[in-house]
Structure 1
Amino acid sequence: MKMARLTPIVLCLIACQYCYGFNGDSFELECPDECDCHYFRINWVTDCSESNLTEVPYEELSLSVYILDLNGNNITSLQPFPSEIKMRRLQIANNRLTRVDRDAFRGLEYLIDVDLSGNNISYVDPEALMDSHGLLNVELQDNPLSVIEGPFLISGTLQFLDISNCNISSLNQQFFQNITSLKSVDLSNNPLRALPESGVFDSLTSLETLKLNDCKLSILAENLFSALVNLKYLELAGNYLMNTNWPEVLGTLNRLEFLNLRKSGLVSLSEDAFSNCTNLVALVLAENELRELDVAATLGSSVNHLELLDLSNCKIQGPIGGDSFANSSKLKSLYLSGNPLFAPDLQEALAPLPKLEKLFLSNCGLRNLPDSFNVFENLLELDISHNPLVNVFTRLLAPLEKIEYLNMGYSNLSYIGPQTFAHMTSLKRLILSGNDLLSLEAGLFGNLTQLTTLELELCGLKRPLNANAFFKNLTYTDLREIRLGGNPLVIPATGPLFPKQLSQVTVLDLSNCNITSLNPDAFKNTENLTELNLAGNRLKSLDESLAFLELLQQLEKINLSNNNLTTIDPQFFVNNPKLHSINLIGNPFVCDCKIAEMWDWANMIKGDLDVLVGAKSAEKDIVVKGNKKKKNLYCRYNEAQLRNMTLTANKSVPGRRPFVKPRELTYANRTWAKYVRESGCEPVVKILRPVALVSDLFKMKNVDYAPSPAFVLAIIAVAFGVTTVIMTFRLLRKDKLISEIDTVNNRKER
């Protein structure tokens, strides 16, 4: 019994040792004033993005920084980083850099990824990255590089290079000479127009992926790719390749599996165009003017491994019928969208494709469908959206008993017969969005007992869902996701929005539905919701505006972005213990201490600032080729606050990471991260996370002990005491360190 009492206290004291930083920052590692620092998994992330920096804060960086994010600043030049820094990933996209000199990355021996995209870089020293012996990825896209003479970079380990949209007009034969380990090169969106007849790619024998999309190429030399013996993926979309000798250009690419010629100005293709590509699995010819294309002759007998063929939007005038796909019996995915098709021709053409799994016939002008769906025993996905269909196709779809995905969106439907989906008992995802369905017929979804996702966006619906559309007294246990975004829903003042049949729904999208309020019982029949999207509505910060959350104890994610919320209180979410993601971005929040309370609640009660979307860098913000401009949580000072904030911003508040240098506020919009530090709001957390953990321990089945109120208060008092001592000690230690630094600086000045 004594152990049962002492164990929670010991755990509480241990936990308190790690709870000194109420604003999510750690005092263990250095963090520049204008940055937010945190651990991502076990790696130290220093996030200085969108902080109006004009230079890299070299002296304030921790030598253990793993990821440094400087995206979206006004940095104009790079200097050598501190010696012995262990940085693996450097992100400095969307700044004002004009060149990368030899010493810019000197000493960065551990660097793996570097992102310099979206700057004004015209010159890169070929030796700039020589010290990075483990370098794998370089992103330089969206820079105005000047003419490059000789080798571009020197690196024996580089595998991924993105220099798309860099104003490169020519490639010399030594361009890739010293980066021969490359596996992927993206040269897209450069005005190359023509490439050297030979030599430029000869050193890239390990290359597997080459992208030359939108390069204004009109000529491809017949031996251009002759050395690329390991090439598997080739993209040439968006060029002018109507006069290309395809049998010669592709002749040596025996391992080629994926070829993209989308929108390449093709008007015809010879019968032997792909005769040497015997391992081709995917061929994309979409958006070319292949009006007279003879599909059967072009595919021929050599491309017999083809599993994906995209002929969408090719303006094919000749009938696609007869033996069009006779030599492509292994096809699994066929895209014919955007071509004028007729049901009888289509019926004949599709007959030899019994293995077809995906068929896309969107925007084909079809007024009815081919009567051949009985052939497709394996068809899993069918897209017939954006066709002027009439209500006579119900019988034709009846054989599709195995279909799992059906898209009938935007097909001018105002009525769907009650037996349309009667035999589709395997259907999992049904899309009816974009049809003017003012009402849903009784029993329409009755037999869809395996349905998992139902999409009815932009259908003009005023009622969320009619109970009559489902079988009475039947719970649809597999139906977990309903999307109703963009409907002008009229929300009842009382009672639930949905019938009891939908009690197992876990994902609900009610975005952009003009919702101004939701009554407390709105989700009474859907209490199992784990994800709720209310973005783009008109919810306000009223006392009862979020009262509906009380019923949603299983809720894990809620999107309240782009509403009219001006303040938010963590008490709104006290009945949602599983909540781990709240999106509040795009609301007109006023900077007040409620912001700090939400911050402390996420950091201390939930134990993770990631609960607040936009509070710090998410995984998608720091991955290679991630989003360059992420969305943050903002609040706004009013003019009176702004005039009086200079002194407050320099004030050190216990529990907040202090500012080392004096600072002055000059603009009203603040990220939550910066506001919490500069606001002067004291850390006010009503229930510390360690105490919550203690409470959980008492609820364990093998601990038969109920603590008295006095005992709980004692634990809380001890927790606060220990936390205060630790914070005070660390602040004094940091002040002492700052004082020593100032002393050293003064000596240097003397």
Structure 2
Amino acid sequence: MRPIPICSLVLLLLCAHLQACPTACRCTNPASILTMDCSDGGLLTLPQGIPRDVEVLILKSNLLDHLPKSAFQNFTKLQALHLQKNKLESIEEDLFAPLSELTSLYLYSNHLAHLPDGIFQPLHKLERLFLSSNKLSSFSDALFSPLPRLKTLNLAHNKLESLSPDSFLHLQSLTVLSLSSNSLLSLPPGLFRGLVSLSVCALYDNQLTHIPDVLFQGLHNLSWLTLANNSLQQLPQGLLRQPGLQHLYLYNNKLRTIKTEGMEDPTQLKTVDLRGNQLETLPAGTFKNSPDLKTIRLQGNPWRCDCNIRYLQRWLTRNRELIKDRPLCETPPAVHGQPLTDIPEAYFSHC
């Protein structure tokens, strides 16, 4: 008997995997990564017959409300686990214990109100963790500490009201953090210490009234920051001069003034969005030394068009291509509703 070529053996093994695929699922092998997709199947429990060497397991959009701690004990090669859009209310502490190769975990859009302290302890290779759209109101300082390789953490759309200074202490690889759409009233000064790789930080749609001056200090890789849809009345000192910051979104707050400290320092800002605040003027030099600026939005502020706004009016007139909206004068009555860039120079002749 002639020996079976190696390529034929590989094909036979692949076919065996596909034949073993549970009825409610679709099994594929793109780029030699065994993937089992059981999404949108109305599943109440894990399907029987999942291949032991599955590497990507997609169980999203089902009706799973509980998983026994032995659910994944045979799937030690699993790299990505999709459990989003189910009805999970709690998770056993040892559920992920066998998954030491896991790099991506999707748990968003469930009903999780609590996570056991050691739930992520075995996941030393985890890089992406999505926990948004759950019911988390708090978590322990130890929850994320076993995840030194974590790069993306999404906690948006939960019920967080406060955070400990040590919440993210050991996440030195973290590049993307979202805490948006929670109920945060304040942030402790040391919350982001040690996050040396952080480049994207989303804090929009909370109830923040104050940001500590030191909150973003040392985050030299931070390039994208949104604090929009809060109740901030002033910015932390030096935020417009934050080293490396390129995109800053501050719309829909209650900002009345912008601090002028450090105006001589150069910036790398490309986008500044100040729409929908309570600004009446901006101090001279606000956008000085910002050669990379490409987009600025200022509409929806009650601009007081008197002598104090002359710097801003002149700067806007010289840089019309950067203005992506039409900031209007609120007062005095003589220029009410008039675009700042349309005010003639003669108007300031008495200044």
Structure 1 residue 90 and structure 2 residue 86: aligned? no
Q: Specify which of 22, 25, 35 is matched with residue 35 of structure 1.
A: 25
Contact 1:88-1:110 within 8 A present in 2 as well: yes
Structure 1 residue 278 and structure 2 residue 239: aligned? no
**Which residue identity is paired with 1:128?**
I
**1:316-465 alignment runs, 5 A limit:** 316=303, 318=305, 324=313, 326=315, 333-337=322-326, 339=328, 342=338, 345-346=341-342
State the match for 2:51 in structure 1.
Answer: 62
- Separation in 1 of the partners of 2:83 and 2:266? 41
Alpha carbons of structure 1 residues 325 and 75: separation in structure 2 relative to 1, 3 Å = farther
State the match for 1:218 in structure 2.
Answer: 209
Contact 1:88-1:111 within 8 A present in 2 as well: yes
State the match for 1:152 in structure 2.
Answer: 143
**Which residue identity is paired with 1:193?**
L
| CA displacement, residues 50-103 of structure 1 (integer Å, 9 cap, x when unaligned) | 21111222x421233332221111112233314354222211112111223331
Alpha carbons of structure 1 residues 44 and 36: separation in structure 2 relative to 1, 3 Å = same
Q: Specify which of 72, 77, 84 is matched with residue 61 of structure 2.
A: 72
Report the secondary structure of 2:284's partner residue: helix
**Which residue identity is paired with 2:25?**
C
State the match for 1:615 in structure 2.
Answer: none
Structure 1 residue 178 and structure 2 residue 180: aligned? no
Contact 2:152-2:174 within 8 A present in 1 as well: yes
Report the secondary structure of 1:114's partner residue: strand
Contact 1:220-1:249 within 8 A present in 2 as well: no
Aligned residues, how many? 323
Alpha carbons of structure 1 residues 37 and 126: separation in structure 2 relative to 1, 3 Å = same
Q: Specify which of 115, 120, 124 is matched with residue 124 of structure 1.
A: 115
Q: Which consecutive residues of structure 1, in runs of 5 or more, have no partner in the other structure?
A: 1-17, 19-24, 350-750
Contact 1:236-1:260 within 8 A present in 2 as well: yes
Alpha carbons of structure 1 residues 146 and 307: separation in structure 2 relative to 1, 3 Å = closer
Structure 1 residue 309 and structure 2 residue 300: aligned? no
State the match for 1:293 in structure 2.
Answer: 281
Q: Specify which of 200, 212, 216 is matched with residue 209 of structure 1.
A: 200
- Separation in 2 of the partners of 1:288 and 1:224? 22
Contact 2:21-2:51 within 8 A present in 1 as well: yes
Report the secondary structure of 1:173's partner residue: coil
Contact 1:223-1:249 within 8 A present in 2 as well: no
**Which residue identity is paired with 2:292?**
H
Alpha carbons of structure 1 residues 330 and 182: separation in structure 2 relative to 1, 3 Å = farther
Contact 2:313-2:341 within 8 A present in 1 as well: no
State the match for 2:221 in structure 1.
Answer: 230
Contact 1:48-1:70 within 8 A present in 2 as well: yes
Shift of 1:315: 5.1
Q: Specify which of 11, 27, 43 is matched with residue 53 of structure 1.
A: 43
State the match for 1:164 in structure 2.
Answer: 156
- Separation in 1 of the partners of 2:38 and 2:286? 53
Shift of 1:39: 4.0
- Separation in 1 of the partners of 2:241 and 2:326? 32
Percent of aligned positions with the same letter in both sequences? 24
Contact 1:235-1:259 within 8 A present in 2 as well: yes
**Which residue identity is paired with 1:201?**
F
Alpha carbons of structure 1 residues 50 and 287: separation in structure 2 relative to 1, 3 Å = same
- Separation in 1 of the partners of 2:212 and 2:158? 23
Shift of 1:255: 2.0
Contact 2:251-2:276 within 8 A present in 1 as well: yes
| CA displacement, residues 269-293 of structure 1 (integer Å, 9 cap, x when unaligned) | 3445866562222211122243x23
Q: Specify which of 256, 260, 273 is matched with residue 245 of structure 2.
A: 256
**Which residue identity is paired with 2:239?**
L
Alpha carbons of structure 1 residues 327 and 82: separation in structure 2 relative to 1, 3 Å = same
Shift of 1:144: 0.9
Contact 1:151-1:177 within 8 A present in 2 as well: no
Shift of 1:173: 2.0
- Separation in 2 of the partners of 1:110 and 1:328? 57
| CA displacement, residues 433-459 of structure 1 (integer Å, 9 cap, x when unaligned) | xxxxxxxxxxxxxxxxxxxxxxxxxxx
- Separation in 1 of the partners of 2:240 and 2:273? 18
- Separation in 1 of the partners of 2:31 and 2:312? 56
Alpha carbons of structure 1 residues 189 and 54: separation in structure 2 relative to 1, 3 Å = same
Alpha carbons of structure 1 residues 82 and 288: separation in structure 2 relative to 1, 3 Å = same
| CA displacement, residues 122-172 of structure 1 (integer Å, 9 cap, x when unaligned) | 222343233333211000001111432322312111011001122111111
State the match for 1:192 in structure 2.
Answer: 184
- Separation in 2 of the partners of 1:129 and 1:86? 17
**Which residue identity is paired with 1:94?**
K
> Over the residues paired in the alignment, what is the CA RMSD in angstroms?
3.4
Q: Could you state the TM-score of these two structures normalised by the residue count of structure 2?
A: 0.79
Contact 1:304-1:328 within 8 A present in 2 as well: no
Alpha carbons of structure 1 residues 330 and 43: separation in structure 2 relative to 1, 3 Å = farther
Shift of 1:330: 7.3
- Separation in 2 of the partners of 1:333 and 1:252? 19
Whose helix fraction is larger, Structure 1's or Structure 2's? Answer: 1
Report the secondary structure of 1:99's partner residue: coil
**Which residue identity is paired with 2:158?**
C
Shift of 1:26: 5.8
Q: Specify which of 234, 245, 255 is matched with residue 266 of structure 1.
A: 255
